[in-house]
């Protein structure tokens, strides 16, 4: 496991290593998006295709406004994906943390709050 990127940083569930949680708990850990993983990957591949299409438009010297329109559409698609993932995180990870209570609950709430702040700023 790599060192924390900043002091006091607590990695999200997907980054927590077995050595931190213990092998039993880590083996049971499931991310909130796991049941929709294939759908998410398909959606991300579509967004990736949009971005490749934008690069092709630039290569072909398309009109600036047309390119900007496609950039806006790709940005909205990523934002929509992020909001859906956040919703799943709150419905799964935050609910589990609330049940556990204590430090885990506080940590997950802080992570969610920070993630929301990043989304709002972007």
Q: Compute the C-alpha angle 113/106/118, nearest 5°.
A: 15
Q: Mean pLDDT score of the chain, rounded to an integer? A: 81
List the domain boundaries for the chain.
36-121
pLDDT in tens, 43-85: 999 999 999 999 999 999 999 999 999 999 999 999 999 999 9
| pLDDT tops 50 at residue 90 | yes
Average pLDDT value for residue range 20-46: 70
CATH number of 36-121: 1.20.58.1000
Where residue 34 falls among pLDDT bands split at 50, 70, 90?
A: confident
What pLDDT is stored for residue 29 in this prediction?
56
Distance, in Å, from the CA atom of 105 to the CA atom of 10, rounded to the nearest integer, reads 12
């Amino acid at each position: 496991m790599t060192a924390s990127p900043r002091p006091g940083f607590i990695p999200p569930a997907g980054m927590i290593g077995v050595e931190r949680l213990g092998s039993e708990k880590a083996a049971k850990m499931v991310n909130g998006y796991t049941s929709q993983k294939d759908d998410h990957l398909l959606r991300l591949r579509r967004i990736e295709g949009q971005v490749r299409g934008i690069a092709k438009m630039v290569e072909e010297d398309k009109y600036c406004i047309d390119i900007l329109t496609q950039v806006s559409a790709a940005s909205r698609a990523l934002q929509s994906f992020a909001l859906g993932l956040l919703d799943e995180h709150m419905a799964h990870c935050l609910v589990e943390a609330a049940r556990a209570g204590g430090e885990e609950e506080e940590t997950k709430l802080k992570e969610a709050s920070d993630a929301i702040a990043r989304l709002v700023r972007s």
